[in-house]
Amino acid sequence: MKVLIENRQKPTKINQQKIKRDSAAALRLLGLKDAELSILLVNDRQMKELNHKYRGIDRTTDVLSFPQYSAKVPKCLSTKANEKKVYGLWDYGTKELLLGDVVINLQAGKRQAPEHRLSFNEELRLLLVHGILHLIGYDHERSKYAERKMRIKERELLEYMAKSS
């Protein structure tokens, strides 16, 4: 398992090792122990640029996911069998599954933490989990059912990560 982190923002101090540990815990629980995940930490301005460039939305957001899919992204992983499927590209040199990139806006995380009654680190963990779930096909915007499935999986991962740290 490989977790790569690039911090492109300066003002917000973060513990990259904690993010790596949390990512590894989430990937283990999802059965993705041979996966590679890239995480990019940005500020509002940088996220707004990415959101505009890739989604055509001219405002910032808290998290974006860019999967390395070779097939059509499923609407939502809705059955136990589907949850075992992995959608991504294999790096045959390292034999790791290249999941994709999660981009986290740390400024948005700081703003949202009090609204969600979370510490900044808890909010960061939530954004990380949310982004990882998008990489493997969960999509809360498809339907109420898909949103419920994603929220349940988020809670499961967050509880597991809290116990693992």
Nearest to 130 by CA among 108, 50, 81: 108
Q: How confident is the model at residue 11 (pLDDT cuts 50, 70, 90)?
A: confident
Q: What are the pLDDT digits (tens) for 134-165?
A: 998 899 988 999 999 999 999 999 999 988 87
Instruction: Rounding to the nearest 10 degrees, give the CA dihedral for residues 60, 4, 68, 82.
Output: -100
- Domains in the chain and their CATH numbers? 2-164 (3.40.390.30)
pLDDT digits (tens, 9 = 90+) for 13-26: 899 999 999 999 99
Which pLDDT does position 85 carry in this prediction?
47
pLDDT tens, 78-119?
344 444 444 455 555 556 678 899 999 999 999 999 999 999
What is the tens place of the pLDDT at every residue in 41-59?
Answer: 999 999 999 999 999 999 9
150 strand-pairing partners:
none
Q: Give the per-residue pLDDT at 110.
A: 97
31: left (phi over 0), alpha (psi -120 to 50) or beta: left
